């Protein structure tokens, strides 16, 4: 039996369709939206006071983020989306001349474009590794061996996803990081989907060098919230793309203790802070309902969908039983369905799905979250009829 969380989303959730595309942008609990609106009103009452007190408050929110992700506050920085966080990390690091960057054929397009841009701008080479092996339920050691075979003497940076946006495939990032660390090769992880989907703990990832993650997908945070994380070993080689007030050490001292890395990475300028402030209500929601309970409820919804569709002869490209983060099916299996952009329109009702743009076989992605009720999942199963 699935727990019913729909009451926590009733003010803003559109129930005229079933939303199973939480992997693009998740829904916020009503309390998170309410705090953002309240913070906008408060800020306008005295904009000078509000701006003066904004940066210390953002630092406090980074402390709560670190608690949520079991890490140290000094290793995090907030950004509006993971693409910006990955830009800060990738474009902000210096690589030796003529180095090679290794990535895979399943990476998210925006991240691939960052790598192309860096390679063109800095005269580096970019190598794309085929991911055929990953479709065969590989072990952690299979992952490590496949990447090790693709390395060359020039490889200085590897960029991979934690949970692949197209099919939910989950990479063993700690095991890969251990192998790469031994070879003095840096690893950057695109964790757009992992925070909130799984129990991410940075204290358990000592061999991961850099990580970027969204908070407006599975974490149910405000739109425009994400983070970057840098292993303490690499604080000194990571440089922000933008200078601002706290990049000056003397200015930063005016805010009490603030580590040099935190100071230089903080966006200390005028901006809209209400999205970041809404993270306070978001973390309150997780604390109130329990992280492990929410993770389990997400998995239950995945299992319910996979089981229901299996009875129709439909099998995901990667099963959640094989560590998939979510469900994806070949789009060709649903040729008889009528699409209006990402919404399937049928006599039974409307269903919003993900249609990830990745090389290879077009996919239909299902990413349920706790706001989805059992009756919604039943309707989705009824709508998703194979050819």
Answer whether 24's CB lies under 8 Å from 227's CB: no
Q: Helix or strand or coil: residue 85?
A: helix
String of DSSP letters for 205-270? -TT--EEEEESSSTT-PPTT-EEEEE-GGGGGG---SS--GGGSHHHHHTTSS--HHHHHHS--SS
Domain ranges of the chain: 6-20+290-383, 36-285
Instruction: Name the strand (E) or helix (H) holding 49.
Output: helix 47-52
How far is it, in rounded angstroms, from Cα 264 to Cα 240?
Answer: 7
How far is it, in rounded angstroms, from Cα 22 to Cα 297?
Answer: 14
Residue 164 tokens, joined? 């692949």
CB-neighbour burial class of residue 232 (10 A; exposed 0-12, middle 13-18, buried 19+): exposed
pLDDT at residue 137, rounded to an integer: 81
**Neighbouring-strand partners of residue 289:** none
Residues in the chain: 387
**Neighbouring-strand partners of residue 98:** none
pLDDT at residue 357, rounded to an integer: 75
pLDDT at residue 320, rounded to an integer: 77
Residue with tokens 């039983």: 321
pLDDT at residue 250, rounded to an integer: 67
Residue 360 tokens, joined? 């290879």
Domain 36-285 classification at class level: alpha beta
Backbone torsion region of residue 137, taken as left when φ is above 0, otherwise alpha when ψ lies between -120 and 50, otherwise beta: left
Q: CA of 88: how far to CAs of 40, 126, 237, in Å? A: 27, 19, 12
How far is it, in rounded angstroms, from Cα 93 to Cα 38?
Answer: 38
Residue 305 tokens, joined? 């969908």
Q: Helix or strand or coil: residue 87?
A: helix
Q: Which of 274, 253, 220 is nearest to 43 (CA)?
A: 274
How far is it, in rounded angstroms, from Cα 250 to Cα 221?
Answer: 33
Domain 6-20+290-383 classification at class level: alpha beta
pLDDT of the chain, 387 residues: tens digit per residue: 899 999 999 999 999 999 999 999 999 999 999 999 999 999 999 999 999 899 999 999 999 999 999 999 999 999 999 999 999 999 999 999 999 999 999 999 999 999 999 999 999 999 999 998 887 788 999 999 999 999 999 999 999 999 999 999 999 999 999 999 999 999 999 999 999 999 999 999 999 999 999 999 999 999 999 999 999 999 999 999 988 888 876 666 666 668 889 999 998 888 889 999 999 999 999 999 999 999 999 999 999 999 999 999 999 998 877 677 899 999 999 999 999 999 999 999 999 999 997 677 899 999 999 999 999 999 999 999 987
Determine if the pTM surpasses 0.75: yes
Answer whether 62's CB lies under 8 Å from 76's CB: yes
pLDDT at residue 252, rounded to an integer: 60
Residue 125 tokens, joined? 């080479």
Residue 141 tokens, joined? 């050691």
Backbone torsion region of residue 349, taken as left when φ is above 0, otherwise alpha when ψ lies between -120 and 50, otherwise beta: left
Residue 253 tokens, joined? 């001292």
How far is it, in rounded angstroms, from Cα 106 to Cα 358?
Answer: 7
pLDDT at residue 380, rounded to an integer: 98
DSSP 358: -
């Amino acid at each position: 039996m699935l727990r019913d969380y729909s009451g926590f989303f009733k003010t803003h959730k559109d129930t005229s369709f079933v939303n199973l595309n939480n992997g693009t942008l998740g829904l916020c609990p009503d309390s998170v939206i309410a705090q953002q609106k309240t913070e906008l009103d408060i800020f306008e009452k005295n904009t000078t006071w509000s701006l003066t007190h904004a940066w210390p408050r953002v630092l406090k929110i980074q402390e709560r983020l670190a608690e949520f992700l079991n890490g140290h506050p000094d290793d995090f920085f907030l950004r509006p989306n993971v693409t910006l966080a990955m830009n800060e990390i990738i474009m902000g690091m210096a690589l030796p001349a003529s180095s090679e960057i290794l990535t895979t054929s399943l990476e998210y397009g925006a991240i691939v474009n960052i790598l192309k841009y860096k390679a063109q701008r800095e005269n580096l080479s970019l190598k794309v590794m085929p991911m055929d092996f990953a479709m065969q339920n590989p072990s952690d050691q299979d992952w490590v061996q496949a990447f090790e075979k693709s390395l060359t003497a020039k490889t200085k940076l590897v960029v991979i996803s934690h949970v692949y946006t197209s099919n939910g495939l989950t990479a063993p990032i700690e095991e890969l990081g251990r192998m790469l660390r031994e070879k003095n090769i840096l690893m950057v992880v695109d964790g757009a989907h992992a925070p909130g989907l799984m129990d991410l703990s940075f204290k358990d990832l000592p061999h991961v060098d850099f990580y970027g993650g969204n908070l407006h997908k599975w974490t149910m945070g405000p739109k425009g919230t994400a983070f970057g994380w840098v292993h303490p070993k690499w604080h000194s080689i990571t440089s922000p793309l933008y200078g601002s007030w706290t990049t000056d050490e003397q200015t930063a001292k005016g805010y009490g203790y603030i580590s040099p890395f935190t100071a230089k990475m903080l966006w200390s300028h005028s901006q809209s802070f209400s999205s970041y402030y809404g993270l306070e209500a978001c973390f309150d929601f997780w604390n109130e309902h329990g992280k492990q309970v929410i993770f389990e409820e997400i998995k239950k919804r995945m299992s319910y969908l996979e089981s229901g569709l299996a009875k129709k002869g439909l099998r995901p490209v990667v099963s959640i039983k094989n560590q998939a983060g979510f469900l994806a099916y070949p789009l060709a299996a649903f040729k008889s369905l009528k699409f209006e952009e990402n919404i399937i329109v049928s006599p039974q009702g409307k269903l919003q799905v993900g249609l990830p743009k990745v090389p290879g076989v077009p996919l239909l992605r299902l990413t349920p979250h706790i706001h989805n009720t059992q009756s919604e999942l039943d309707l989705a199963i009824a709508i998703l009829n194979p050819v």
